[in-house]
Amino acid sequence: MSQSRNVLHEILGGQQRPPDGPTGRQIATGLVALLVLAAAFTSFYTVQPEERAVVKRFGAVYGITDPGLHFKLPFGIDSVQKVATERVLKEEFGFRTVDSSGPERTRFSPRNILDESLMLTGDLNIIQVEWVVQYRISDPIKYLYAMREPTRTLRDLSESVMRRVVGNRIGSEVLTIGRVEIANDARDEIQAAMNRYENGLHIITVELQDVVPPERVQPAFNEVNEARQELERMVNEANRELNQAIPRAEGTANRVIAEAEGYATERVNRALGETARFTAVLAEYRNAPEVTRTRLYLETLHQALPRVGSIFVTQEGQVLPLLNLREPELRQIATSEGAQ
Amino acid sequence: MSKNLTIAAVVLAGLFFVGFKSAFVIDQAEQGIIVQFGEPIGDVIADPGLHWRVPFIQEVRRFDKRLLAWDGDVSQIPTLGREFIIVDTTARWRIDDPLQFLRSVRDESGARARLDDILDSVARDIVSGTELEEIVRSADWEVDMSNLAEEEADALAETDLERPKKGRAMLEGDMFAASSRLMPELGIELVDVRIKRINYIDSVRVQVETRMISERQSIAARFRSEGQGRSQEILGGMERDLRRIRSEAERTAQEIRGTADAEATQIYGAAFGQDPEFYAFFKTLESYDALNENTTLMIDAQSDFYRYLQSTQR
């Protein structure tokens, strides 16, 4: 007690003394002062809002403190380890986000990343799976003291579990409909393993990112898609042709029928007209058959003869030219006869 | 007085030093053994906190109490089916009996060397006695073909899709059991052994990829010929329909024409039948209407027509 009061006195009064070289007393005083200062600086700590602090006294866990300013025993008697329990942490597999910089991010070569993402499916094909595990430290004490390298274990286990889950499915299922189920199965299985190790990690989600066939095979997968498109295109084109041709043919058919109907009407009407004329003439003829007959005959000839090209008269098998009917033709005939 | 003070200070410092050397801290993560001239003394100190020892002659060996990770070398192993695969195993272990641990392997690097030997050889034994399918698939393996597209199911027709006899988890169990037997003498407890990675070696991978490519190409070819087939089918149906439509129209048209012709014939018949002789005369006259300058008319001198003609000339 009295010593510490002395120390205080020395600290306060030290400046006023004339500097006549350090005595033993002054050295001791300085040391004690340093000690006090060190004690002052090592007896409090701050816990950030997203953290919890594990306090240990002589190496044994003593308690957990919440965010805020806290005091502890100095000189390493109490030590504090802060763990970010509220933060969502993330491990990436098969790829690395470039901008989360830091020295450890750069130590992975692309070869390592490919080793992470390449796996075998149940039908013994190769597939490339990229995924993310999001997790939180739910129990800081377990996190620190159940396992030496919980994050590394999480990585190892995630790879092991993902390969088991993917290996238990057909490749095409993994590529298409199986994604959600795979993510859920993997999450549950990783969580179960973490619980078994009691390492205080809580898995929030497992999210599948790119799930693709190996690079060299991808063009062949694209080819299948193209072929599927081509199939649809060919079917569509054929249907288009069909849709063009059938209505046109139906129109043509209707036209053919309509034309036939026109013909039918015309034919019947002509028959009716002609017979009506005949019937009318016949009625007149019956009144005076001889006269009408002769009249009709002569009328017709009268109209028709002027149009006739040449007329020959035959008598007992001999052809006689009919003179004076048409001058040029008759002359022609006469000369041809003279030659005979 | 200053001399006394100095002596006191030296004695105090000495005591402090001795105290400092006899106290030691075991961390929450550790367990320790006190060793005197290389000989372990007393029990394992498992409780974390402040402990005491005889200064200068006893020293403390500390061992991690937590679960530790072990990661095996990546090794190429042939399976029972002679495929070479790359197997990477991982394991969790802890120092269970520090005294035994200290005696048998001394420290962690010694332990890792032993674990490497044991686990690698166990993995090699088990993988080389197992088909690849057994390692990849799990015991609850089931393929639901109804979920798969038809062309995918066809592509799998050649593949052996049987449920594995053991499956991956059980093989890992076998590995664990086989290696666990050797652990007690090392003072180690093995917690689990898992297969982290299995992949084909590069040369096999190229072959498998080539097979996958040809598989895809055959699916693509199938789609293309299916497209051609369906297109042909549609066009064939179209041709059939076209011919039907045309021929039906033709038939209907002929029927209509025929009916009309019959009707006309009937009408003519009924009318002309009243006086066939007059009809013949009437029709003959009508045909004279068709005479023109290209017509040559031959008239018999005895005929009525000639007489009429003579009379018209006069």
- DSSP string across B23-39: EEEE-TTEEEEEEETTE
A281, closest residue in chain B (CA to CA): B282
User: Which residues, other chains included, contact B90 with Cβ-Cβ below 8 Å and sequence gap of 6+?
Assistant: A156, A157, A160, B69, B70, B71, B72, B193, B194, B196
User: For residue A276, what pLDDT is reported?
Assistant: 92
Task: State the pLDDT confidence band at A340, using cuts at 50, 70 and 90.
Answer: very low
Tens digit of pLDDT for each residue in A76-95? Answer: 788 888 999 999 999 999 88
Using the structure block, give the residue that is written with the tokens 């149906």.
Answer: B237
Give the closest-approach CA distance of A4 to chain B in angstroms: 16
Mean pLDDT of B126-138: 91
Mean pLDDT of B130-150: 84
A193, closest residue in chain B (CA to CA): B192
User: For residue A270, what pLDDT is reported?
Assistant: 92
Mean pLDDT of B208-231: 92
A315, closest residue in chain B (CA to CA): B301
Q: Are A290 and B275 in contact (CB under 8 A)?
A: no
A116, closest residue in chain B (CA to CA): B197
Q: What is the mean pLDDT of chain B?
A: 87
User: For residue A71, what pLDDT is reported?
Assistant: 86
ipTM of the predicted structure?
A: 0.80
- Selected for mutation to probe chain B from A234, A294, A326 (highest B CB count within 10 Å) is A234
Tens digit of pLDDT for each residue in B80-102? Answer: 988 899 999 999 999 999 999 99
| CA-based nearest residue to A148, from B64, B99, B282, B34 | B64
Structure tokens at B30: 């550790």
Lowest mean pLDDT among A92-106, A248-262, B208-222: A92-106
Indicate yes or no: CB of A160 within 8 angstroms of CB of B195: yes
Lowest mean pLDDT among A15-19, B9-13, B162-166: A15-19
What type of residue sits at position B117?
D
Q: What CA–CA distance (Å, rounded) separates B92 from B75?
A: 19
Structure tokens at B227: 């497209």
B224 and chain A in contact, CB less than 8 A: yes
Within 225-254 of B, beta carbons closer than 8 Å to A belong to: 226-228, 230-235, 237-238, 241-242, 245-246, 248-250, 252-254
Structure tokens at A35: 């000690």
What type of residue sits at position B258?
G
Q: What CA–CA distance (Å, rounded) separates B235 from B104?
A: 84
B191 and chain A in contact, CB less than 8 A: yes
Q: What CA–CA distance (Å, rounded) separates B47 from A330?
A: 157
Residue B197 phi/psi, 5-degree rounding, is: -135, 140
Within 155-184 of B, beta carbons closer than 8 Å to A belong to: 156, 159, 161, 168-169
Q: Which long-range contacts (CB under 8 A, 24 or more apart) does B262-267 make?
A: B263/A264, B263/A267, B263/A268, B263/A271, B264/A267, B264/A268, B264/A270, B264/A271, B265/A271, B267/A268, B267/A271, B267/A272, B267/A275
Q: What is the mean pLDDT of chain A?
A: 82
User: For residue B238, what pLDDT is reported?
Assistant: 94
Burial of B52 (0-12, 13-18, 19+ CB in 10 A): exposed
Q: Are A290 and B283 in contact (CB under 8 A)?
A: no
Q: What CA–CA distance (Å, rounded) separates A258 from B86?
A: 81
Task: State the pLDDT confidence band at A317, using cuts at 50, 70 and 90.
Answer: low
Q: Can you give the pTM of this predicted structure? A: 0.75
Indicate yes or no: CB of A264 within 8 angstroms of CB of B257: yes
Indicate yes or no: CB of A230 within 8 angstroms of CB of B141: no
Between B235 and A321, the more confident residue is B235
Lowest mean pLDDT among A161-165, A320-324, B15-19, B244-248: A320-324
Query: What sections of A92-203 are H helices per DSSP?
Result: 110-117, 140-145, 150-167, 171-175, 179-197
pLDDT at B78 over 80: yes
Q: Are B272 and A279 in contact (CB under 8 A)?
A: no
Q: What CA–CA distance (Å, rounded) separates B284 from B294?
A: 19
User: For residue A127, what pLDDT is reported?
Assistant: 94
User: For residue A106, what pLDDT is reported?
Assistant: 47
What type of residue sits at position B192?
D
Indicate yes or no: CB of B67 within 8 angstroms of CB of A238: no
B1 and chain A in contact, CB less than 8 A: no
A254, closest residue in chain B (CA to CA): B249
Task: State the pLDDT confidence band at B307, using cuts at 50, 70 and 90.
Answer: confident
* Exposure b/e, B90-105, CB count within 10 A at least 16 = b: bbbbbbebbeebbebb
Q: What CA–CA distance (Å, rounded) separates B265 from A38?
A: 136
Give the closest-approach CA distance of B36 to chain A in angstroms: 23
